[in-house]
Structure 1
Amino acid sequence: MYFRRYLCSQTAAAHRRRYLRPVKQVVKSNFSETLAEIKESIVSSDFVAVSLQKTGSYSAPWQKCLPIDTDETAYWKAKRAAERFQILQFSVCPFSVKASKLIANPYNFQLFPRHEVKAGMPSYGFLCQSSCLASMAQEGFDFNACIYNGISYMSRAQESAATVQTRSVLLNGGGLLSTSALSVADVIFSERIKTRVKNWMNGCNNQHKTGDYLISSLRKLVERSENYGSRPSLTIDVCSERQVQLTSEALKEFVNIVLVRPLAKAGVEAVQVVLTSSEEDKNLLVKEIQGLEEEHRRLVSGFREVIDLISTSQRPVVVHNSLNDFAFIHEKFLAPLPPTTNEFSSSLLSVFPHILDVNHLMKELGLFDEMNNLSSAISYLDSRFSASIDMEVSYEEKTDCVDVHGHSVMKVCQLFVKLCSILKISLEIPEGGHTQLPALLQCSSNMLCSSDVRDPCNDDVRIWTSKSRTVSLRNLVFLWGFRRGMSAQDLKDVLCNSHDVFSEEFDVKMVDRTCAIVVFWTPGVSKSFLGIMDSGECFSNKLENMILEGLKAADYETYRRVCKSDLWKPNLAECLAQATDETVVFSGAKMQQEKSVICRNNDEMINLDEL
């Protein structure tokens, strides 16, 4: 009952009016009128901040991006989340900094995926994480309004597929085919089309002379003549794209007709010939059809219009968590995510050439663990640096008429401007200079993964968020199968003095409650430890008992295989055990297959020369 009350509209209204600065709320009913407004805001601003509210991000602690993740494993985690969860709110804030004042234009778009156009596309489905929904409900989010009035969208890839199925475009006659490429069948088809259209046009012109209504109706039925609005039209069925081109080419000599490709029904292709009364009437019809096509296109693309506006403007995009947010943006609005991080970066940066993550700017100050929450990060900077920022919000509607949602994007703006002020980075961009960022910002741009700050040839990772010390992946060992409730310190106490390999410096950190990583700070020791575990060499009694109880160990490559696979489980230990077992089974199967091939080659090969 408590949760149901959270989901109702009345409860949502009670949580409003908390903030002084309003954010324009955009839903399906006011989306069209907002497009022109936000386009002007983007063009007149120097930066665009974005913030996303999703139905979930990860299902288990180890599935979120961790300090131990490389670019590759972090991308696979972000990719998995983007493919399974959904965006419900997308906040956009074009902003500029003039005379040390932040001028913001915040908008909050409520989204809900649905098919506005019946295009035969697969139905939408996504996962919801209960903690995320509960948090949104506590903030007063109106799920009813989102479902019924949220803005739909299609990605560019989906729209391309839908356009093929729902295309309704004007056909321009002539210049499509070379006469030398026409076959006899093509010529016969073209002549039949010409004759049919000519007879139909004569019938339309002589219709007022025919007194018998029955004869006129029968003629329309036989000729498949109907009306396109108030104008007479004729439908010509075609079997292929070539016949569409032949029809268009054949009818180019008819001046007062307009050719339209209507919506395909049940796989039947057709060309519709519309008769106009004059050149002026023809131009008017063409404009009407183009207007309908534009409206249809906007209906299909939905919110992606905003994404296209941001992309076209080439403005730098400021975010709080670039990898996760842009994985969602790519998956939902551009195309399915590619398999590798390099392909992802290449695809994304072709659309958004300048991406700025406040996390990376924070690291420029040597701060690693203060970024879990935007509000706490702003408070942290306010308490340690003198960087007060005045904000001016151009949208000045009464606060009692405006929802409180979408304020996270304003915090992203504030944090970004504060960090740049502390780092002495000027944000006053000269007119026409949006493609050239200040040098310090240029160095911090387009770092989609947390490890991008490192040398790309270096395989070192950090273990603790709050410390900058790094370690090679080759010096990490994953441990699982220990007793429930053991802490990192408990494991370290057991490992200490259990064998000579632990005489060197090492640390232990829990990944989740079922798995820990052992960090060997001396190169080569991790390999020795794994070899000893495989050989069954004696350890101390405590560790020996833990091994007998099921303690297992694996290197980073096993963790990498887990992140790449589709069989993710809530506990990392189960995943590592499965990956280890699959490796053994695969190796055995491969050896058996090779043996089988050798036997077949020796005993079952047929020598054609002997036949």
Structure 2
Amino acid sequence: MIEVTRDNFEDVFPSIEYAIRTADFIAIDSEFSGLHFHDDDKPSLFDSGSDRYSKLRRSIQKFTLFQIGLSTFCGDVNTNRYQTQTFQFYLFPRSFASHDQRLSLQASSIQFLRKHKFDFNKWLHDGISYLNCVDEKKVKDLVEVGVLNRDLDRQMDEKEIQSLCSHVAAWIPTSQPGDILTLPTDKNFADSLYVFHKDLRAQFPQIWTSTNAFDQVVVKRVTPTERRMSQKRDLDGDDRYQQQLLNEMLGFSRVFRLLLSARKPIVGHNMLMDLMFMFDKFHMPLPEKYETFKLCIREVFPVIFDTKHIHLCIKKKLELLGVVHARSLEELHNILASERVMNMSLLQPTILRQNEVSADGDEFHNAGYDSFVCGSVFLRLCHFLHSKNFSSMDIMPFAFNSYLPTMNTFRNCVNVIRASVTHTKLDGADPASLRPPFLYVKLKSGFPLFLESMLAQKLSPYGTVDIQFLSSTEALVATMNYMSARDIIYAFKQDPVIEVTNYRYWQHSPLAQKLWWGGFFSVAAASCAVILNLLQRSS
């Protein structure tokens, strides 16, 4: 795994570009600073695809990405091998003038990452910047209006700037045109040097500045004529520095744009939040409407596969072969990579990891390693399913593109956890809910008002449920499966306190009741008017 930080990003970028360009598919994973900004945004079995999108959108607007893992897989059908390269990026947004992002952290997410040895120092000190298109335009506008010389939160602190300026001021009286002074600037401030150049040139009209190969500021004593000539020559230099500054601000967004232009299949595990985070932070703010997002994400990533969704769809096939249902990506990987399962699917391709600097990051919940595991799981599932189309005598090494027709049924389907729908369909209408109908719970007369905690306690033995109160005495209950719903109805059939039945909209909905009674009175009033009219005519 290659860890990518601010220090080596530019050096590694050509390798990233080549790996993406030559890949058959690319697996991604990410780590976030939080999941649910408000308690109301937690997942619920009542959520439709649109509901869940709205909840995630509100949270993603507040939280940020800590880490992105990206693994490229490039196959060779002749050797039946896939070469994979894994890059792990630490991300930390940079401020620039009035562009200054606010970061929100959720304690549970921080505790989770700390438990899995996430390097917060590397994130804070060496994280790569990023911009979406709206923020990029804002930064460009700030550069063009000349904001660089004012209101800028620099990495070079004021004491250091004053010290360097004092050094130049003390040197100028004893210098002659042509003399040179090299300032001892720290290499960590290389990305602030453009601003510092502007400050020095504005403060001392007798000098001109440049940057040497070691990112140090070189001050040269010049004549007024040389100064004017340097200013004219440096117009192109300003553009170059500005583009360099913009590239540094864009940071990982440049990698995202490589993914966008490559249009390769993107693979993830339970990846809805990953996709939404990447879209919002590196492309453009998430649109308000769910259907607009689905349209936009298809333009960014035309082909998406979610290994969580694939596994849930074929788990019965796997169970028939003795493969136990996996509860996590880690368990799924270990099962599919086991000798027993590998022997069930002949000629599984070999996966070779390239350019591995260190195996220190080979732990789950490191975004880089998780992306590699996710891509490996996807490849195993592709081969397993595709080989079922052939007899054992006809199985051969397959090119990656030959897998795609078999996997087409899973294309652009992204898993949705704990919702009324099992997945979202990014290139079409969401599927109908496979969850059981809601249950209607009512407090029997003569008992005090019940609290949500009491009802939740009563229903907790029957599996995952969510409760939505209609009034102080009525509630809807959503269950995960039909067995839970059936068990609850049976268990409370003779309960002295609460009554549980299947929910019927026209019978139990307060809105439906109002519509029904409103319609009844409207019809009654119209009937009375007709009768009175007839009586008047007859008289």
Q: TM-score, normalised by structure 2?
A: 0.61
Q: How does 1:296-335 map to 2 (within 5 A)?
A: 296-335=245-284
SS of alignment partner, residue 413 of structure 2: coil
Q: Deviations over 1:534-581 (max 9, x none)?
A: xxxxx98845x348xxx9998899xxxxxxxxxxxxxxxxxxxxxx99
Question: Do the aligned partners of residues 64 and 428 (structure 1) sit closer, same or farther apart at CA in structure 2, a change above 3 Å counting?
Answer: farther
1:150 partnered with 2:99: no
Cross-structure match for 2:48: 70
Write the distance in 2 (CA, Å) between the matches of 1:455 and 1:294: 37
Q: For the Cα contact (< 8 Å) 2:20–2:262, is it kept in 1?
A: yes
SS of alignment partner, residue 141 of structure 1: coil
Q: Deviation at 1:166?
A: 2.1
Amino acid aligned to 2:113: M
1:347 partnered with 2:296: yes
Question: Do the aligned partners of residues 348 and 542 (structure 1) sit closer, same or farther apart at CA in structure 2, a change above 3 Å counting?
Answer: same
Residue identity (%): 19
Q: Deviation at 1:41?
A: 1.3
Q: For the Cα contact (< 8 Å) 2:92–2:129, is it kept in 1?
A: yes
Cross-structure match for 1:517: 478
Amino acid aligned to 1:114: R
1:376 partnered with 2:348: no
Q: Deviation at 1:104?
A: 0.8
Q: Deviations over 1:82-121 (max 9, x none)?
A: 2233211111111112233221110101112231x22x12
Amino acid aligned to 2:376: Q
SS of alignment partner, residue 423 of structure 2: helix
Q: How many residues align?
A: 389
Question: Do the aligned partners of residues 519 and 38 (structure 1) sit closer, same or farther apart at CA in structure 2, a change above 3 Å counting?
Answer: closer
1:447 partnered with 2:413: yes
Cross-structure match for 1:397: 357
1:25 partnered with 2:3: yes
1:438 partnered with 2:408: no
Q: Deviations over 1:293-348 (max 9, x none)?
A: 32021122122111111111122111112311111111211222112221111112
Q: For the Cα contact (< 8 Å) 2:465–2:477, is it kept in 1?
A: yes
Question: Do the aligned partners of residues 410 and 64 (structure 1) sit closer, same or farther apart at CA in structure 2, a change above 3 Å counting?
Answer: farther
Write the distance in 2 (CA, Å) between the matches of 1:556 and 1:301: 51
Q: Deviation at 1:478?
A: 6.0
Question: Do the aligned partners of residues 510 and 122 (structure 1) sit closer, same or farther apart at CA in structure 2, a change above 3 Å counting?
Answer: same
Write the distance in 2 (CA, Å) between the matches of 1:228 and 1:42: 49
Q: For the Cα contact (< 8 Å) 1:482–1:546, is it kept in 2?
A: no
Cross-structure match for 1:428: 399
Q: Tell me which of 331, 338, 355 is aligned to 2:287.
A: 338
Question: Do the aligned partners of residues 437 and 311 (structure 1) sit closer, same or farther apart at CA in structure 2, a change above 3 Å counting?
Answer: farther
Q: For the Cα contact (< 8 Å) 1:67–1:462, is it kept in 2?
A: no
The answer to which of 419-428 and 94-103 deviates more is: 419-428
Q: For the Cα contact (< 8 Å) 2:6–2:128, is it kept in 1?
A: yes
1:46 partnered with 2:24: yes
Q: How does 1:66-465 map to 2 (within 5 A)?
A: 69-98=47-76, 99-115=79-95, 117-118=96-97, 120-130=98-108, 132-167=109-144, 230=208, 276=229, 285=234, 287-366=236-315, 370=325, 372-381=327-336, 382=338, 383-384=340-341, 386-387=344-345, 388-399=348-359, 405=366, 406-424=368-386, 428-429=399-400, 438-448=404-414, 450-452=422-424, 460-463=432-435
Cross-structure match for 1:486: 457
Q: Deviation at 1:135?
A: 2.6
Write the distance in 2 (CA, Å) between the matches of 1:129 and 1:422: 40
Q: Deviations over 1:408-437 (max 9, x none)?
A: 11101110110001011786357xxxxx98
Write the distance in 1 (CA, Å) between the matches of 2:341 and 2:28: 26
Q: Deviation at 1:447?
A: 2.1
SS of alignment partner, residue 356 of structure 1: strand
Write the distance in 2 (CA, Å) between the matches of 1:309 and 1:454: 21
SS of alignment partner, residue 457 of structure 2: coil
Q: Deviation at 1:511?
A: 2.5
SS of alignment partner, residue 113 of structure 2: helix
Q: For structure 2, which runs of at least 5 residues remain unmatched after alignment?
A: 147-176, 178-201, 210-226, 319-323, 388-396, 416-421, 442-450, 470-475, 516-539
Q: For the Cα contact (< 8 Å) 2:90–2:123, is it kept in 1?
A: yes
Cross-structure match for 2:418: none
Q: For structure 1, which runs of at least 5 residues remain unmatched after alignment?
A: 1-22, 170-207, 209-223, 232-273, 431-435, 464-470, 492-507, 530-538, 558-579, 588-611
Amino acid aligned to 2:247: R
Q: Deviations over 1:506-536 (max 9, x none)?
A: xx85227998426998xxx9xxx9xxxxxxx
Q: TM-score, normalised by structure 1?
A: 0.54
SS of alignment partner, residue 365 of structure 1: helix
SS of alignment partner, residue 300 of structure 2: coil
Write the distance in 1 (CA, Å) between the matches of 2:504 and 2:135: 40
